[in-house]
Amino acid sequence: MSTQQKRVALVTGGSGGIGRAVVERLSRDGFAVAVHYAGNAARAEQIAGTITGAGGAAIAVGGDVADEQAMTAAFDATEAAFGGIDVVVNTAGIMLLSPIATLGLDDLDRMHRINIRGTFVVSQLAANRVRAGGAIVNFSTSVTRTQFPTYGAYVASKAAVEAMTLVLARELRGKDITVNAVAPGPTATPLFLEGKDETAVANLAKAAPLERLGQPEDIAEAVAFLAGPARWVNGQVLFANGGLA
């Protein structure tokens, strides 16, 4: 099969924990993948090189997700390499935790710029450039309904992601493009583990009925479902959290 015949996925944050697992999972499904990075070009290039070395098709593309010109260039590079885009998975985001009463507003602005504006910029480009039969997958969090303390500003940004995702699904009526969000529970990534002691991690691991943390590969399975066979799942938030209430 030539590269031009493959389905093509652009994964923002593709050099990160969940993003990398998504890239690797979609590659195993036969996708050509664009591995997006914001700051770590070497890691994205290494991931793309590993996929290419194993017989897959991958490139690295960079840019600030909240910068529409940078992301237009990333979409352009993906289309130039592979002939089009079928799936956009938007895993890029940051998580800054603090009680609402004490969160610095600069941190609020930084998080909302990346998580809200970034998702909006990428979703806007995807809405105009994903091919028929394709999928857009954004990322929320299970904390939108578990309401853990210190997550207030982060949850606010992800609630906005859920809202724009569900509206976009309705706006793309007639284009045969699904739009969904994945809402992971506690997942063993550097983003999640940073700043937590062993007791906090252990308590979170026990919170789900399956009594473990999610792994990036667990979340990638949900994305692969939405990116591939789940054509009748549209305008939904899929909670991938092991049964966390």
Q: Hey, which residues are catalytic here?
A: 154
Q: Is 89 in a helix, a strand, or coil?
A: strand
Whole-angstrom distance, CA of residue 200 vs CA of residue 68: 38
- Cα of first residue to Cα of last residue in the chain, in angstroms, is 44
User: How far is Cα of residue 226 from the mean position of the Cα atoms in its chain?
Assistant: 12
Query: In terms of C-beta density within 10 A (0-12 exposed, 13-18 middle, 19 or more buried), how is residue 105 classed?
Result: exposed
Degrees (nearest 5) of the Cα angle 23, 27, 32?
95
Amino acid symbol at 239? F
Query: Which tokens in the block code for residue 59?
Result: 């490139």
Whole-angstrom distance, CA of residue 234 vs CA of residue 131: 16
Whole-angstrom distance, CA of residue 101 vs CA of residue 142: 22
